[in-house]
Amino acid sequence: MSETTTAPTRHDVVVIGAGFSGMLLIHRLRDGLGYDVKAIERGEDVGGTWFWNRYPGARCDFESEFYSYSDNEIQQEWSWSERYAAQPEILEYINFVADRWDVRRSIDFDTSVTAATFDEGRNLWVVETDRGARLEARYLIAATGNLSVPSEPTFPGMESFAGPIHHTGRWPKDGVDFTGQRVAVIGTGSSGIQSIPVIAEQAAELTVFQRTATFTVPAANRPLTDRERQVTKANYPVLREAAKHTRAGILGEQPMGSFAEVDLVLARGELERRWRTTGLGVTATFNDTLVSEEANEFVSQFVRDKINQIVEDPATAKLLEPHDYPIGTKRLALDTGYYETYNRPNVRLVSVRQTPIDRFTPRGIVVGDHEYEFDAIVLATGFDAVTGALERIDIEGRGAAKLAEAWAEGATSYLGLAVHGFPNLFTVTGPGSPAILTNVLASIEHHVEWIADYLEFLRREGIVRTEADAAAQAGWVEQVAELAGHTLYPKAASWYMGVNVPGKPRVFLAYLGGFGTYRAICSKVAADGYPGFLHTTPTHEVTDHDSERVTS
Ligand code: NAP
């Protein structure tokens, strides 16, 4: 901890981040349960992901009517214009909710948490910010988001480029006008795939640098009708409740069955229907798409065939065909006219698979012996996902353990909610939870509710310190790894595996048992008195060998 003379402010709970998670935590804990909550937010306003990701074409890829809070007053009042709302509408919604819940008075904006140290004598966290503030709180809750720290490759000569370089995850608030410009986009994950068709419409020339071809399917986005909105609103409680029991926290297309038992002529027709209408439903055609190589290849080839039908230039179509990983094991992208964009005369695709980008120059980008000239460059290169935001904060737990060191071999967690060695710290949608594979709003609501219930339990029982037990955590980590090992997920060099960031350990970061099952596990832990957590009352101090003292 650095020396500082500022007198600390005292709170019950300090929340890091004021996106969807942080806002709900403030509302639930402050307004619902009467805790003194202070949130620290790096941005100048609320919104998190949706505050920063303002790149052209940014929109959600879960249906907006469900990619939203289940608060009944709000869901009855707010009306979504499209099936998959665009970023400005989502940010408008977030601001609407922020006003309604009056969350801003509990948030310090334009402020980053730099360090947090657990004071073992007083059982509270001491939090420091880049503005020199010190805050003390019994509980520290990370609402830092899974995709909040941009991953920016450092190419030689980058600083010499004469034009602007924009990362999709830190897009300028006032937008960027590419009219008449020669633009490069590096990266073809979801952010690249959403922005490329829109930038292509504005720019004079667009060059896409692709290292790995990504599977993407049409979003089939469209305006919602009044009738559709009315029907959803009338049935919200039952739809939201049913979604809690699904694998991904959202009601979607059901699988036809396993690859072996399904008639493949019918399956082909079903894929065709899903391609036209359901977005992410394509990979759910078989219940074993992510387990069986045959099932996966059938779906993968269906998409490759589509690419060849849509893209007119056979060489470009070939480059766009994904062959490096099974479909769905990297996040499937949803697009609007992505493959069609390569039929435009002002768009070209450059593969940097065999010959990587060599360097930037004042004029552009050099690949092999060719210099491509640009007025602006867009980095759609992704994020240091799931763990990046917390590892950048100097978090020191019991016995001066550092979180970044505890996670050096891969993120560990009990239930994705707590970390051994870091008492009174909770992670909303943390590593080892299913959150990144779900409608994240459903996961956020579940975690916030679970944490709120737990804080009430701790208050009732007079417990001043709670910590994930080492053995319980090891068991959970093992279960997460074992489930991943039974699937095709580890075959992809994805951000799910941490592989997209150089030097990051290759560990699967999510629980694959499904959201419904995960909820049931968390509910049972609560109902049984929180086994797997070590509880300390003022006269009962915890040590590393205290596993047997778990209260239940
Ligand atoms: P991403 O999926 O990690 O994609 C990053 C892209 O940059 C990849 O194509 C990667 O190539 C490329 N790249 C990275 N470093 C490179 C280098 N040095 N040279 C050339 N290419 C390089 O990141 P993202 O597109 O930002 O998406 C991340 C996640 O955010 C998504 O999976 C999704 O969960 C979420 N997201 C959601 C939406 C939405 O629809 N709501 C929109 C955007 C993002 P390799 O594949 O070869 O590494």
Question: Where exactly are the structural domains of the chain?
Answer: 9-149+385-544, 182-233+255-379
CB 169 within 8 Å of CB 52: yes
Containing 195, the helix (H) or strand (E) segment is helix 190-202
Q: Hey, whose CA ends up nearest to atom 33 of ligand 1?
A: 190
104: burial class by Cβ within 10 Å (0-12, 13-18, 19+)? middle
Written as six digits, the tokens of 74 are 């709000």
Pocket flag, ligand 1, residue 190 (CB < 6 Å)? yes
Distance CA 432, CA 478 (A): 10
Q: State yes or no: pLDDT of 5 exceeds 80.
A: no
Containing 242, the helix (H) or strand (E) segment is helix 226-243
How many angstroms does the Cα of residue 164 sit away from the middle of ligand 1? 20
Distance CA 298, CA 42 (A): 45
Q: State yes or no: pLDDT of 343 exceeds 80.
A: yes
Q: What angle do CA 204, 337, 61 make, to 5 degrees?
A: 120
Reduce the DSSP state of residue 216 to 3 states and report it: strand
What does the pLDDT average to over 528-532? 98
Distance CA 383, CA 381 (A): 7
Q: What is the rounded radius of gyration, in angstroms, for the C-alpha atoms of the chain?
A: 24
Pocket flag, ligand 1, residue 192 (CB < 6 Å)? yes
Written as six digits, the tokens of 440 are 């994240």
Beta strand spans in 123-247 (E): 124-129, 134-142, 165-167, 182-186, 205-210, 216-218
Determine which of 33-42, 135-144, 456-465, 532-541 has the lowest per-residue pLDDT on average: 532-541
Pick from 271-280, 447-456, 530-539 the range whose average pLDDT is largest. 447-456
Confidence of residue 134 (pLDDT cuts 50, 70, 90): very high
How many angstroms does the Cα of residue 143 sit away from the middle of ligand 1? 22
Pocket flag, ligand 1, residue 191 (CB < 6 Å)? yes
What does the pLDDT average to over 444-460? 98
Pocket flag, ligand 1, residue 153 (CB < 6 Å)? yes
> 227-270 pLDDT, tens per residue?
999 999 999 999 999 999 999 999 999 999 999 999 999 999 99
Q: Hey, whose CA ends up nearest to atom 23 of ligand 1?
A: 382
Q: What is the pLDDT of residue 538?
A: 87
Q: Hey, whose CA ends up nearest to atom 12 of ligand 1?
A: 187
Q: State yes or no: pLDDT of 378 exceeds 70.
A: yes
What does the pLDDT average to over 354-377? 97
What does the pLDDT average to over 532-536? 98
How many angstroms does the Cα of residue 263 sit away from the middle of ligand 1? 35
Lookup result for tokens 């975690």: 447
Q: Please state, rounded to an integer, the average pLDDT across all residues of the chain.
A: 95
Q: State yes or no: pLDDT of 549 exceeds 80.
A: no
Q: Hey, whose CA ends up nearest to atom 6 of ligand 1?
A: 187
Distance CA 439, CA 54 (A): 20
Q: What is the pLDDT of residue 402?
A: 98
CB 428 within 8 Å of CB 448: yes
> What CATH class does 9-149+385-544 carry?
alpha beta
Nearest ligand 1 atom to alpha carbon 192: 25
CB 290 within 8 Å of CB 326: yes
Q: What is the pLDDT of residue 542?
A: 53
How many angstroms does the Cα of residue 185 sit away from the middle of ligand 1? 11
Q: What is the pLDDT of residue 499?
A: 84
Pocket flag, ligand 1, residue 187 (CB < 6 Å)? yes
Residues 6+ apart with CB under 8 A from 231: none
Pocket flag, ligand 1, residue 145 (CB < 6 Å)? no
Written as six digits, the tokens of 379 are 């980095």
The four Cα atoms 153, 155, 160, 164 give a dihedral, to 10 degrees, of -40
Pocket flag, ligand 1, residue 207 (CB < 6 Å)? no
Pocket flag, ligand 1, residue 148 (CB < 6 Å)? no
Between 547 and 29, the higher pLDDT residue: 29
Please provide residue 205's backbone torsions phi and psi, each rounded to the nearest 5 degrees: -140, 140
- Residue percentage of the chain with pLDDT more than 70: 97
Pocket flag, ligand 1, residue 473 (CB < 6 Å)? no
How many angstroms does the Cα of residue 496 sit away from the middle of ligand 1? 11
What are the distances in angstroms from CA 275 to CA 223, 280, 282, 494, 537?
18, 9, 6, 23, 56
Written as six digits, the tokens of 220 are 């089939």
Confidence of residue 500 (pLDDT cuts 50, 70, 90): confident
Ligand 1 pocket test, candidate residues 211, 329, 491, most atoms within 8 A of CB: 211
Please provide residue 295's backbone torsions phi and psi, each rounded to the nearest 5 degrees: -60, -45
Pocket flag, ligand 1, residue 455 (CB < 6 Å)? no
> 296-337 pLDDT, tens per residue?
999 999 999 999 999 999 999 999 999 999 999 999 999 999
Reduce the DSSP state of residue 383 to 3 states and report it: strand
Confidence of residue 540 (pLDDT cuts 50, 70, 90): low
The answer to pTM > 0.75 is: yes
